[in-house]
Structure 1
Amino acid sequence: MASLADQLAKLLGPDRVSTTQADLATHSTDKWFASNPPEVVVHAQSAEDVSKTLRFANENKIPVTPQGARVGYVGGAVPLQGGIALSVARMNKIKEIAIEDGVAVVEPGVITGDLQAEVRKLGWFYPPDPASLKECSLGGNIATNAGGPRCLKYGVTRHYVLGLEAVLADGSIVKAGGRCHKNKTGFDLVGLMVGSEGMLGVVTEATLRLIPHPPMRAMLSAGFNSFAEVANAVQRILGSGFLPSALEIADKFTLRAAREYLGESVTPQGDAHLLVEIDGQPASVKGELQQLVKLVRDLGCICLNEAMGDEACEAFWKLRREFSYSLRNTGLIKLNEDIVVPRGKLVELVDFAEKLQGEFGFPVASFGHAGDGNIHVNIMVPTMDDPAIRERAEAALDRLFHQIIDWNGAITGEHGIGVAKKRWWRDAIPPAAHETHLRLKAALDPNGILNPGKFLG
């Protein structure tokens, strides 16, 4: 009998199928620490390639792990049961940018930052902006309902997906939604696919909503002595009638790592950092910035810098995007947990993180999207290969997630559940909601071939 690779090569063509050791290793993992090689990698170049692969896999009950840029943090792209790693990275065309309709039509392998740059040339805007926007793909963003700093004002990926083409487990190609900005024709199949983490279907095309790019943006960067002062500043800004496009905060461990990696001169003073971005028409932005500067100064910041215009603002964002790399530079492994708490719990969250650090002996770095309560709590561990250290790290994570659930928070805001958060999934949702997930999975993937081993089992 022909091997799996030979059968797929005959079905798709040899240029679409790989079993080289390098390819298998590359497609065995994402940015989480887990790894397991597939038996074969399929490099799909069209919806028809995806359809043929899934039809074949479904008939033969072969596990399929959909993959894009593989930069997720929860093991969602790890082929836990081997089988086929189905990569859509080569499906990377921006098919259309239709300004008159306010849409872009893209393949799933398009890099998020590349789409943003192309529509920006035309004076338009695709707002979702994960920190990894220069390397993450839109298909992955859709699979995890990715967010980013601008969620506060502009929303997450789900709010920009008007239409999808997706291939189901049996190979059938389903189109839902379209290019209309309002559409209530039947069930929301688009919404069902967004955030489904590759377990209900494989997206092969997306029609994304575009909006006019604000002509001006401005930012302020402020350092404070304590995280409590920064959290108070967040509440005061929102309570004063401002709706920033982004409200970011960082704690002292994050700032300390940034000073070591980037240098003292580019890292704000203090033990807590506040970053605020606003956008709109030039005159209104200038006026709002002046009011915000006065407000933040009155709240007791110890340093404050302003930026007006794209180039100056990007210098501030460069610092923010370097936080993750600064933490990696410590030599520790970053267990990056994108939890969400009600905004009023921000100070309690950081206090709790400090208690975790004292109890378990691991540094904890907290930074992220204060405007919507989505804070990245990073437990920094020396290794996950030592059984004793791993057990202690898992115990710390267990404490963190159960506290978040007790606060009526969410165990993930934008990374997804994947494997990393699988053991807290059942505690995070009611039993009836869990049963509904299982029914949907059984209806669309009765043989359980799509991304098996992740949070649904």
Structure 2
Amino acid sequence: MKAIKLSSKILSLFKRIVGEENVQISLAQRLAYSYDATAMYQSMPEAVVSPRNTKEVVEIVRLCNSQKIPIVPRGSGTNLAAGTVPTFGGIVLLFKNMNRILELDEENLTLTVQPGVITKDLIEHVEKFGLFYPPDPSSMKISTIGGNINENSGGLRGLKYGVTRDYVSGLEVVLPNGDVVRTGGKLAKDVAGYDLTSLFVGSEGTLGIVTEATLSLVPLPEYKETMIAYYDSLEHAAETVSQIIASKIIPTTLEFMDQATIEVVEDFAKIGLPTDVEAILLIEQDGPQSIVQQEMQQMEKICQQNRARKVILASNQEEAEELRTARRAALSALARKSPTTILEDATVPRSKIAEMVREIGKIASKYNVKICTFGHAGDGNLHPTCLTDARNHDEMERVEQAFAEIFQVSIELGGTITGEHGVGEMKAPYLEWKLGREGIEVMKKIKDSIDPYHLFNPGKIFAKSTKKRVVVESDTNSHTAKDQARV
């Protein structure tokens, strides 16, 4: 697909639809939306268009369809897989004007919102009514619910409560031909036909544009406790995670940081984290007070049985929030240390966490790059984060080789190339490693049937070519792949 230059006539038509003030075309305005939170990916849109309602979205889509203009729907741009970069130009569809909470239905425990609502604002709004929206991506202070839906975002509470898809009960979606489809609704059960709601959630804006969402809520937990455990051994921390789950306790939060991450976070937050330990586990539980206290005691005992150097229970909510903030600040803390920070995510079975972290360390040494690892230990979702400099082309090539090997090892351990960041443009060349050629073909047929001209977020998920597998060295010298890659 070639980038299309928008004529003054087309720009005038956009202005007629949304108002002149909602069409941004200056160089500075377009530059601001030429990239997202992913390092190294940038492409200029021809215009940034901000609709005010679904009717205007429909008109925009029909105009773009008639002129074959690419559309990239965008929230706050916190995407970490180059999912909102306008790779082929066209327009960025910005939802800053569609940011209203439309209805809180306490009888059905649902919330209906527009896509531009900030995630944290949504969470705080429902908590005023004693209700709870569990998905809590680390970017929730600035990310939008529309972006969360497109990426099927997770968060620290994902182990116990699941991810965004688990709370989307209905959608209003504009299709590439301008048709509007409504899926699901305020329903506890609905098996009428294909599950179109789940199809659109996590589709990264490649199949439809979400203009309204109905979200399921749960009662706000009455009580919460937080503790932190320090380990001199990575394996002991990983074994703790496995034993907690095996004991049939599902904590709200079970987070992990390796030593390299701990050092950076402590330098940033200065809350007294020991920098000489090999791993830290942040553990939280919520629910009825008596049950929470009982389960926290059990988990503390499991930590101690697995040789935790020290286990500290937060004495109050302020201390607990300080610990949570330190974990959420991991990326910000790491970003201060180098010109370029590349945050990835790969998921493995919980039982493979220690092995995966060790492999990440070996890969970092092999390619002589700096990688810190933290993540959601409870669900096996790790975030290897590389501190580098995009201006150093030789190092950047080694970084890409390192991540390719990390993705491959993750798959070989029974995992996947992404647990919550999505595929976007960055991971598209690796998707076939996980899904196989047949899986990619099924996805392409769905895309072609809904968006035959590939105007919705083109260049994402489907790569022009798949990366070759790297040769992974092991003690047994056995290789699952024989192709030497230069990625």
Q: CA deviation at 1:13?
A: 2.4
Contact 1:268 1:303 in 2 (8 A): no
Matched with 2:482 is none
Deviates more, 1:293-302 or 1:260-269: 260-269
Aligned match for 2:420, one of 408, 414, 418: 414
Q: CA deviation at 1:21?
A: 2.2
| Cα distance in 2 between the residues matched to 1:43 and 1:165 | 18
1:152 and 2:128 correspond: no
> Could you tell me which amino acid in structure 1 is paired with residue 232 of structure 2?
N
Deviates more, 1:198-207 or 1:320-329: 320-329
Contact 2:259 2:276 in 1 (8 A): no
1:299 and 2:306 correspond: yes
Gaps of 5+ in 1: none
Deviates more, 1:304-313 or 1:354-363: 304-313
Deviates more, 1:425-434 or 1:302-311: 302-311
| Cα distance in 2 between the residues matched to 1:349 and 1:70 | 29
Gaps of 5+ in 2: 1-6, 464-487
Matched with 2:289 is 282
Q: CA deviation at 1:299?
A: 2.1
| Cα distance in 2 between the residues matched to 1:75 and 1:50 | 23
Q: CA deviation at 1:264?
A: 6.0
TM-score, length-scaled by structure 2:
0.91
Q: CA deviation at 1:270?
A: 1.4
> Could you tell me which amino acid in structure 2 is paired with residue 277 of structure 1?
E
| Cα distance in 1 between the residues matched to 2:219 and 2:19 | 42
| Cα distance in 2 between the residues matched to 1:132 and 1:267 | 26
Q: CA deviation at 1:2?
A: 3.4
Q: CA deviation at 1:407?
A: 2.0
1:237 and 2:244 correspond: yes
Aligned match for 1:429, one of 422, 435, 453: 435
Contact 1:269 1:303 in 2 (8 A): no
1:102 and 2:109 correspond: yes
Contact 2:133 2:218 in 1 (8 A): yes
| Cα distance in 2 between the residues matched to 1:4 and 1:416 | 32
Q: CA deviation at 1:422?
A: 1.4
Matched with 1:256 is 263
> Could you tell me which amino acid in structure 1 is paired with residue 372 of structure 2?
A
Matched with 1:390 is 396
Within a 5 Å distance, the mapping from 1:126-137 to structure 2 comes to: 126-137=133-144
Q: CA deviation at 1:113?
A: 0.7
1:317 and 2:349 correspond: no
Q: CA deviation at 1:378?
A: 1.1
Within a 5 Å distance, the mapping from 1:200-279 to structure 2 comes to: 200-263=207-270, 265-266=272-273, 270-279=277-286
Q: Cα–Cα, structure 1 residues 309 and 102, in superposed 2: closer, same or farther, change >3 Å? A: farther
| Cα distance in 2 between the residues matched to 1:264 and 1:124 | 31
| Cα distance in 1 between the residues matched to 2:108 and 2:318 | 29
Contact 2:22 2:50 in 1 (8 A): yes
| Cα distance in 2 between the residues matched to 1:164 and 1:434 | 25
| Cα distance in 1 between the residues matched to 2:321 and 2:366 | 38
> Could you tell me which amino acid in structure 1 is paired with residue 258 of structure 2?
D
| Cα distance in 1 between the residues matched to 2:326 and 2:276 | 13
| Cα distance in 1 between the residues matched to 2:294 and 2:374 | 28
- RMSD, aligned CA: 1.5
Contact 1:223 1:270 in 2 (8 A): yes
Q: Cα–Cα, structure 1 residues 423 and 62, in superposed 2: closer, same or farther, change >3 Å? A: same
Deviations, residues 295-338 of structure 1 (Å, cap 9, x unaligned): 32232212221126644432221111111111112125221111
Q: Cα–Cα, structure 1 residues 331 and 110, in superposed 2: closer, same or farther, change >3 Å? A: same
1:259 aligned counterpart, secondary structure: helix
| Cα distance in 2 between the residues matched to 1:419 and 1:432 | 20
TM-score, length-scaled by structure 1:
0.97
1:96 aligned counterpart, secondary structure: strand
Contact 1:222 1:268 in 2 (8 A): no
Q: CA deviation at 1:16?
A: 2.2
Aligned match for 1:194, one of 190, 201, 206: 201
| Cα distance in 1 between the residues matched to 2:398 and 2:88 | 27
2:290 aligned counterpart, secondary structure: helix
Q: CA deviation at 1:417?
A: 0.5
> Could you tell me which amino acid in structure 2 is paired with residue 285 of structure 1?
V
Aligned match for 1:65, one of 55, 60, 72: 72
